[in-house]
Amino acid sequence: MTRRATRTRPATPQDEHAIPLQRVNVPVLNLEWIKSRLSPATLERLMQVWGLVGRLTFPPSSSGKAREGSRRIPTADAHLLRKAGIIEDASSTITGGWIIPFSVVEEKTTGLRRRWITWPRDKNRDDPYEANVPLLHISHYLPPAMAEAASCLDLKASFFRVSLPRETRHLFRCRAEDGTLVELTRLPVGYKAGPEILQIITSAIAVVTTVAHRLWAALPSVRIDVWIDDIRIAGSKSGATLWEAQVLRNADSCNASMGEGRESGATQYTFLWTQFDHTHRAVSLSEKFVRSVCAMTSLNSSTIAEMEVVASRFLYAAAIFGTRLCDYYFFIKAGRRRLSALHRGIVLKTSPANLPPSAVGLDERLRHIIGNNCKRIIKPAEKASAAVTDASLNGWGAVFISDFGDVKIAGGKWKKKSFLIMQAEARAVRLALSAFSAILPSTMDVWVDNTSLRGAANKGSSKPHATTRELRRIYEFLDSRGVRASFAYVRPAQNPADDISRGRVFAPQDLRRGAAVSCGWRTPKSASS
């Protein structure tokens, strides 16, 4: 997702002649400096991923010629790229792989801009790469709105700063319009492992605690978020600007430079298509995001590809607004069915979506909500009480630990057995909240030992309708009592409600074992039923 672009489309031959290519005259990064700042574990991961860059996709032979694409670099573009040092004449080494060159047009606030993209199709298909990029759900990036201010920076022309080792360049070749064989000198923008490489590099420059060596740790008073090549530093205004200066010094040390979209100690800015307002501790969708949704095709006349884009935008907006997805279950289900048919080869991307009228009606309702773009106030995270629940074939069990350390327990056998364990786990949560209704605080955590339920509850929707129905009843109950709850995961071996759900005697020492490890509830004082 391009943070500063309103819309992106493939460039036409007319665009290639009318719109100049983005200039990328930037120096290469000092990767040795980057490596010196990484923790041992992150350095090991970087070297694993970087090793894939030089991996031969197929044996050099005449069969490699069949993989050469028909697309070539326009003469004017080739001249600019050669002058910038992005491409060079191919060496005498036998070609080991081909790239597909093309460009895209981005609509910027300053006008149209054309960016050059290189797609190493064979390497993307054959390299044994499994992504491990810590790009989290957008909801994770909202709490910094409660800070005083933030500084935002982005790495300029990030992919073109990473130099390819000379011995690997024969894997990334194509031809210019005049037939000249050329090879890349920089990391391909379209390589599937590229985002993770950039994420590590940018995190090293920003000194993200989980990535950088502890000797270079950031100030504990600031929070740093990195998304590929975008950086946000949130905290007090003085703290954010102080660490911003350090990041800029780090960038100078490794030959990096920041783009024009820099914000220093700002209280209002856009980050990841979200408008942050620190003065009012609020978030909303950026104007560009709203315009992109309004310009999309209506679902009653969309193709499956267009439907997928619309649905992804709606899910993103729901996370910003804090909208629970229970009410949109059938809209999501209809979209999933179409995408499942696409993945199985039953339909094409260009096939009509043919969504039911009820889903189309929800489309209009969601567009109206996004168009209004009401601000969402981000509330501070208080010290929460915890309810830990469990379900078994026998019944359900729950333990409630107040923020003072007092403990209550509840449980019983099923009156009506569930067919799905996830539905049973959700029902255990609902029954536990009902049992503890008289003592529920305004903010609490609900711990479950089912990761699928944890994810579905935090999203507000589940694939099985039976579980979604339970989730809707849970949230209706919480809303009626003004309770805010977040769901977390506890390992089954550390779940103190496990014995209760199986009809066994509750053991208070199980609570202390759970509190001593990764679970966030307090060590209990006493227990009562």
The pLDDT tens digits of the residues spanning 109-139 come to: 667 888 899 999 888 888 888 888 888 888 8
Q: Can you give the pLDDT at residue 140?
A: 87
Which helix (H) or strand (E) segment holds residue 470: the answer is: helix 465-480
Q: Within a 13 Å sphere around the CA of 525, how many CA atoms are in the beta-carbon half?
A: 5
DSSP string, 371-407: HH---EEPPP----EEEEEEE-SSEEEEEEE-TTSEE
Q: Is 27 in a helix, a strand, or coil?
A: coil
Q: Can you give the pLDDT at residue 282?
A: 96
Instruction: Show the DSSP H helices in 231-372 as ranges.
Output: 237-253, 287-294, 304-321, 329-343, 357-372
Q: Can you give the pLDDT at residue 58?
A: 58
Question: pLDDT tier at 517 (50, 70, 90 boundaries)?
Answer: very low
CB burial of 156-187 (b: ≥16 within 10 Å; e: otherwise) equals bbbbbbbbbeeebbbbbbbbbeeebebbbbbb
Compute how many other C-beta atoms are within 10 angstroms of the C-beta atom of residue 127: 16
Please give the single-letter amino acid code of residue 123.
K
Dist. CA 129–CA 254, nearest whole Å: 27
Q: Can you give the pLDDT at residue 344?
A: 92
**Cβ–Cβ < 8 Å for 400, 385:** yes
Q: Can you give the pLDDT at residue 135?
A: 86
- % of the chain with per-residue pLDDT over 90: 48
Instruction: Pick 517 or 16 by higher pLDDT.
Output: 16
Mean pLDDT computed over 3-19: 72
Task: From 490, 473, 460, select the one nearest 430 (Cα to Cα).
Answer: 473
Residue-averaged pLDDT of the chain: 86
Mean pLDDT computed over 512-528: 48
Question: pLDDT tier at 216 (50, 70, 90 boundaries)?
Answer: confident
Question: pLDDT tier at 267 (50, 70, 90 boundaries)?
Answer: very high
- Tell whether the model's pLDDT for residue 1 goes beyond 60: no
The top-scoring range by mean pLDDT among 169-173, 290-294, 506-510, 514-518 is 169-173
Distance of CA 488 to the CA centre of its chain: 19
Task: From 196, 166, 167, 189, select the one nearest 81 (Cα to Cα).
Answer: 189
Distance of CA 333 to the CA centre of its chain: 22
Q: Can you give the pLDDT at residue 3?
A: 37
Q: Can you give the pLDDT at residue 42?
A: 94
Q: Can you give the pLDDT at residue 10?
A: 85
Q: Which two tokens mark 475? A: 């949230």
- Cα angle 521, 526, 529; round to 5: 95
**Residues 408-433: pLDDT tens digits?**
899 999 988 766 888 999 999 999 99
Return contacts of 55-63, CB within 8 angstroms, 24+ apart: 55/123, 55/127, 56/96, 56/97, 56/171, 57/96, 57/97, 57/122, 57/123, 57/126, 57/127, 57/171, 58/96, 58/97, 58/122, 58/126, 60/94, 60/95, 60/96
- Tell whether the model's pLDDT for residue 470 goes beyond 80: yes
- Tell whether the model's pLDDT for residue 179 goes beyond 90: yes
Q: Can you give the pLDDT at residue 524?
A: 47
CATH of domain 8-270: 3.30.70.270
Q: Can you give the pLDDT at residue 62?
A: 44
Mean pLDDT computed over 331-346: 89
Q: Can you give the pLDDT at residue 327?
A: 74
Domain residue extents for the chain: 8-270, 296-377, 385-528
Domain 385-528: CATH superfamily is: Ribonuclease H-like superfamily/Ribonuclease H (3.30.420.10)
**Cβ–Cβ < 8 Å for 184, 87:** yes
Q: Within a 13 Å sphere around the CA of 299, how many CA atoms are in the beta-carbon half?
A: 28
Compute how many other C-beta atoms are within 10 angstroms of the C-beta atom of residue 467: 25
Instruction: Pick 63 or 160 by higher pLDDT.
Output: 160
Mean pLDDT computed over 157-162: 80
Dist. CA 112–CA 12, nearest whole Å: 13
- Tell whether the model's pLDDT for residue 401 goes beyond 70: yes
**Residues 472-498: pLDDT tens digits?**
999 999 989 888 888 988 888 888 888
Please give the single-letter amino acid code of residue 465.
H
Instruction: For residue 425, give Cα distances in angstroms to 42, 396, 407, 429.
Output: 36, 8, 21, 7
- Tell whether the model's pLDDT for residue 182 goes beyond 50: yes
- Tell whether the model's pLDDT for residue 49 goes beyond 70: yes
**Residues 432-444: pLDDT tens digits?**
999 999 999 888 8
The top-scoring range by mean pLDDT among 109-113, 330-334, 381-385 is 330-334
The top-scoring range by mean pLDDT among 242-246, 299-303, 383-387, 462-466 is 242-246
- Tell whether the model's pLDDT for residue 525 goes beyond 60: no
Q: Which two tokens mark 181? A: 């064989």
- Cα angle 377, 379, 380; round to 5: 150
Q: Can you give the pLDDT at residue 402?
A: 81
70: left (phi over 0), alpha (psi -120 to 50) or beta: alpha
Q: Within a 13 Å sphere around the CA of 178, how many CA atoms are in the beta-carbon half?
A: 8
Packing angle of the helix pair 465-480, 329-343 (nearest 10 deg): 150
Instruction: Pick 188 or 517 by higher pLDDT.
Output: 188
**Residues 268-326: pLDDT tens digits?**
999 999 999 999 999 999 998 998 888 888 888 899 999 998 888 988 998 899 887 77
**Least reliable range by pLDDT among 9-18, 316-325, 359-368, 507-516:** 507-516
- Cβ neighbours of residue 514 closer than 8 Å, sequence gap 6 or more: 388, 490, 494, 495, 496, 521
Instruction: Pick 241 or 461 by higher pLDDT.
Output: 241
